[in-house]
Structure 1
Amino acid sequence: MKVMLAIFKLDKLGGKERDCIAIARHLAARGHDVTVLTTSADVPGIDDLKLVTLRARGLANHALLRDFARGVIERKLRAEPDALLSFERIPDADFHYAADGAAILREWRLWSWPPRRRTRLALERAVFASPAATRLFFMTERQRDEYIIAYDFEPSRATVLPMILHDDRYAAARKLGAGDSRKDRGRKDLGVAADELLAVSVAVDPKLKGVDRSLAALTLYPKLHLVIAGSDAPWLHRRVVRLDLESRVHIVPYVAEVMDLIATADFMLHPARSEAAGQVIGEALLAGVPVLASAACGYADEIARSGAGMVLPDPFQQDALINGIAHMIDALPAMRKAAAVRARSLQQQRGAWLSVIAERIERGAAKPR
């Protein structure tokens, strides 16, 4: 079977891009001829993938996305693949992986540039609204329901995936059994004393993930440290200095051993403003680490169901975060036990999300056109 995957910038290497690479490899391992279409693929370690670079023209992001969609459609018409899986909003894709929330439900600012909004909504409608027949992959039930409310499409077009966690995270989680000595080494490297508490935030986009909210709350907890991985934004350093938190906030790059870093912490802080799913929540639970997250996160339901942490209600209030940290600290032993139970159950789901995607594509491609 010949399958095309289309993603705008593979080298952005966010969650969507990592998911695309994992899906491409999984489909190839099942014997399919897989090609990834993108505009930028300068990513180390993906020589095993067949990549085609398309040129997108435009002065603004929305124009580039529109031109990329046109290029993908033209390529599809020429190559005639058995299936096209898009990670961007591309009309006439056979399958679409919904990595974001619905643009139509976003609170657009009054001064948002009208062409940008029109283009994004037109592309979104072409994928989700009737008479489109694109089959849709969603990360959570909540995300699926939001799109159904927005576009009233036939629910049978939608598939909600099991929790998305990558194989390298599972492999790293199995090694975490080395225990307290490993955790102690990580804390020593950060300069965190044994009697001090450590929270972790993994955030490539720290503003979107609510790191500023966490920093403000941290000022009220003098024995709580916070390690922030994934961003070196100048405003982040300025905020830390302004709040006099230099001795308790540790800003580190996003590292391959991020599971080790997460496991070093007592709990994860993730009061995100917007998060379609939140793979870092799943990674924390897989590492046996409880999570304090906002209800805006798609995987917040996983925290509530497992009892491995706390979910802040919508709309977000800073006082709720402050009180939530106090509750997390008081209930840490019970929450860590709940997180350990969830970690064991997640180990049984390894690769499930990839199998679901592959099976749906194979079934869909087998149907007569």
Structure 2
Amino acid sequence: MQLAFCLYKYFPYGGMQRDFRRIALTCQARGHTIRVYALEWQGEVPPGFDLVRVPVRALTNPGCYRKFTAWVQADLARRPVDRIVGFNKMPGLDVYFAADPCFAEKARSLRNPLYRLTRRYRHFAAYEHAVFAPESKTEILTISAMQQPLFARHYGTPARRFHLLPPGIASDRRAPPDAAEIRAAFRSEFGLGADDLLLVQIGSGFRTKGVDRSLRALAALPEALARRTRLIVIGQDDPKPFRLQAAALGLGERVQFLKGRDDIPRFLLGADLLIHPAYAEAAGMVLLEAVVAGLPVLTTAACGYAHYINDADAGVVIPEPFTQTALDEALAKVLGDPKTRARLQRNALAFAERTDLYSQPERAADIILGRRG
């Protein structure tokens, strides 16, 4: 079959983008042809992918997305395909990969009511409706059980159209036999002593991922613990406002910001705790990447994959509604107790052995390729 994959922006380090790549490669490995429509593409194009950079521009993102949709639909009318798979919400999809949380729920719970009068709201609400309305034919691949009831409540989407996928953690995230040696080399490279503690926060979109919360929690540590604790934040975003916040909190050189990179497994093995206090996250792949590496996790219940941390007893999940005090206290407690961290590490590695955290691409390909038009 000829498959068309649609996404607005591709860069190598985004969670949704990595899901797209692995699912598309799995479909290709089964003998199908891959065409990709994208506004922006960073990084290498996989061999055999027909990448179509959609040549539209607009003053606003909604305007650009409307032009993208129109251009793609016109091109598909000239060059039809067997399946249209979207990784962003848009009209005309056969299959949608639900990487983003419910927009209608966020608009009502996190925004001023006046926001619903804006053009931006109307655009994203209409595109979400096109996917989830009862009359839509789009099949929906979900990565978090907590999101389905929200979509169903706002749109009345039939349950039969939802397909809950297992996570798709890449095998290179699992702790290898020489994990101890990799950890020692990493900590030597970054100047970490035996008593030093390293927090890592990994993910693009620093505001949504709660980097501001992490900085406040680091600043609130007891002095004796604070002196030996560092934070490294990794992702594709502008770190300037968070550097200013760190400076205002007196964190100095204890915080480092790095761009997205390919050696994330080294950081997962070299750190002492993953901190991920996100405001909203449909899934949170990095939570499970930490688990399979044996790294304890401190996160929020707003993340779709947070329940895995509880299931594995591999960390601490801050309940909703979030309070900064709860995060501050949990961080101090976990960092200050090496026995607790060792127990959480053992639990994480055991959970990674007995649980299917890896087969998302194969299951997604089954549904995409088996869908009836």
Q: What TM-score does the superposition give when structure 1 sets the normalisation length?
A: 0.92
**C-alpha spacing 1:341/1:149, structure 2 compared with 1 (3 Å):** same
* Counterpart in the other structure of 2:268: 262
* Counterpart in the other structure of 1:108: 111
Identity percentage over the alignment?
Answer: 29
1: CA distance between counterparts of 2:43 and 2:16?
Answer: 14
* Counterpart in the other structure of 1:165: 169
Q: Secondary structure at the match of 1:156?
A: helix
* Counterpart in the other structure of 2:259: 253
2: CA distance between counterparts of 1:18 and 1:12?
Answer: 7
Q: Secondary structure at the match of 2:146?
A: helix
* Counterpart in the other structure of 2:365: 358
Q: Secondary structure at the match of 2:289?
A: helix
Length, aligned pairs only:
360
2: CA distance between counterparts of 1:246 and 1:206?
Answer: 19
**C-alpha spacing 1:13/1:264, structure 2 compared with 1 (3 Å):** closer
Q: Secondary structure at the match of 2:136?
A: coil
Pairwise CA distance, 1:12: 7.6
Letter in 1 for 2:370: R
2: CA distance between counterparts of 1:315 and 1:149?
Answer: 20
Letter in 1 for 2:265: M
2: CA distance between counterparts of 1:268 and 1:13?
Answer: 17
1: CA distance between counterparts of 2:61 and 2:31?
Answer: 35
* Counterpart in the other structure of 1:333: 342
Letter in 2 for 1:224: T
| Structure 1 segment 1-369 matched on structure 2, within 5 A | 1-11=1-11, 14-106=14-106, 107-109=110-112, 112=115, 114-166=118-170, 170-174=171-175, 176-221=176-221, 222=226, 223-230=228-235, 231=237, 233-329=239-335, 330=337, 331-346=340-355, 349-350=357-358, 352-364=359-371, 367=372, 369=373
1: CA distance between counterparts of 2:310 and 2:13?
Answer: 29
1: CA distance between counterparts of 2:213 and 2:6?
Answer: 35
Contact 1:197 1:225 in 2 (8 A): yes
**C-alpha spacing 1:179/1:126, structure 2 compared with 1 (3 Å):** closer
- Choose between structure 1 and 2 for higher RCO, CA contacts under 8 A separated by at least 6 residues: 2
Letter in 2 for 1:89: K
| CA shift digits 1:181-223 (9 cap, x unpaired) | 3212222222222112222111322221111111111123323
Q: Secondary structure at the match of 1:214?
A: helix
RMSD: 1.9
Structure 1 stretch 84-93 or stretch 314-323: which is displaced more?
Answer: 84-93
| CA shift digits 1:94-120 (9 cap, x unpaired) | 111111111111133456471111111
1: CA distance between counterparts of 2:66 and 2:60?
Answer: 10
Q: Secondary structure at the match of 1:194?
A: coil
**C-alpha spacing 1:177/1:246, structure 2 compared with 1 (3 Å):** farther
**C-alpha spacing 1:334/1:299, structure 2 compared with 1 (3 Å):** same
Letter in 2 for 1:362: L
Contact 2:209 2:277 in 1 (8 A): yes
**C-alpha spacing 1:349/1:240, structure 2 compared with 1 (3 Å):** closer
2: CA distance between counterparts of 1:71 and 1:12?
Answer: 25
Pairwise CA distance, 1:136: 0.3
Contact 1:139 1:164 in 2 (8 A): no
**C-alpha spacing 1:211/1:180, structure 2 compared with 1 (3 Å):** same
Q: What TM-score does the superposition give when structure 2 sets the normalisation length?
A: 0.91
2: CA distance between counterparts of 1:45 and 1:12?
Answer: 10
Contact 1:273 1:296 in 2 (8 A): yes
| CA shift digits 1:39-60 (9 cap, x unpaired) | 2234225344111222234321
1: CA distance between counterparts of 2:88 and 2:220?
Answer: 42
2: CA distance between counterparts of 1:332 and 1:50?
Answer: 46
1: CA distance between counterparts of 2:177 and 2:13?
Answer: 28
5+ residue gaps in structure 2? none
